[in-house]
Amino acid sequence: MPIIGFVLTTVLAYLVGSTPTGFLVAKARGIDIRAVGSGNIGATNVFRILGVPAGIFVMLMDAAKGWLPAALLAKWLATLFLAGYSDLTVEWLHLCAGLGAVLGHNYTCWLRFKGGKGISTSAGVLAAIVPVPLLIILTVFVLLLLTTRYVSVASIAASFTLPFATWLTGRSGNLIGVTAAMAVLAIYKHKTNIKRLIQGTENRLGGRPRPPDAVPPTK
């Protein structure tokens, strides 16, 4: 029955995506990543606080949290629940897995539903379902990062470009709609960065990190 497959896929993908990699890596070094730098648990803050090796590890693990559900988990569950169903139905299963993983990272149940911004996890999802649009937005990201040195600006611009890149590469309306939803969510999660950009207080890559805006106390 397709509905069981969709629900199970979304829930399992959410649980995979909700693993707070950055928080756990920092905690292993005796640091609450939420109380330093930008206060975010994502790879960018880990880069600033713990250095390049830790930042790369968190970035790759966060990307894997998106790729594994969207590519492998959805494929396995499709064989269990959607054998004989149309390609469109199977496509929706992969999309449910991708969205579940991103929501898990952004709103992890292990940290009172406060997580990261979902950029690396979204990249992992896109690598599984729309690799060519991913290459396009990665180009946008790198160019803006090199010219502005603002990770937030590069991430917002790449997110905004995503649905247009999906459309230009001739993907289905479902994929365009889902990538548009992912873009909106990613930009929304950057609302504090947008505020700091307007105020002129946003961190530049390689600059000294500022205190987080609002961080729960370390227990």
CB 118 within 8 A of CB 28: no
Burial class (CB in 10 A: 0-12, 13-18, 19+), 102: buried
210/162 Cα distance (integer angstroms): 29
| pLDDT recorded at residue 204 | 87
Which pLDDT belongs to residue 84?
83
CA pair distance 117, 154, nearest whole angstrom: 13
Share above pLDDT 90 across residues of the chain, in percent, rounded to a whole number: 85
Q: Where residue 207 falls among pLDDT bands split at 50, 70, 90?
A: low
For residues 88 and 145, what is the distance between their CA atoms, to the nearest angstrom?
A: 36
The 10s digit of each residue's pLDDT in 74-124 is 999 999 888 888 888 999 999 999 999 999 999 999 999 999 999 999 999
What b/e readout covers 47-63, taking b as 16+ CB neighbours within 10 angstroms? bbbbeeebbebbbebbb
Mean pLDDT (the chain, rounded): 92
Cα angle 107, 208, 29; round to 5: 55
219 pLDDT band, cuts 50/70/90, is: very low
For residue 215, the model assigns a pLDDT of 44
Tokens of residue 164, six digits: 């247009």
> Averaged over 47-59, what is the pLDDT?
96
- State the burial class of residue 215 (Cβ atoms within 10 Å of its Cβ: 0-12, 13-18, 19+): middle
pLDDT, one tens digit per residue, over 140-179 is 999 999 999 999 999 999 999 999 999 999 999 999 999 9
Q: Calculate mean pLDDT across residues 168-191.
A: 95
Predicted local confidence at residue 213, as pLDDT: 54
- Taking CA atoms, 153 is separated from 3, 19, 190, in Å, by 38, 26, 9
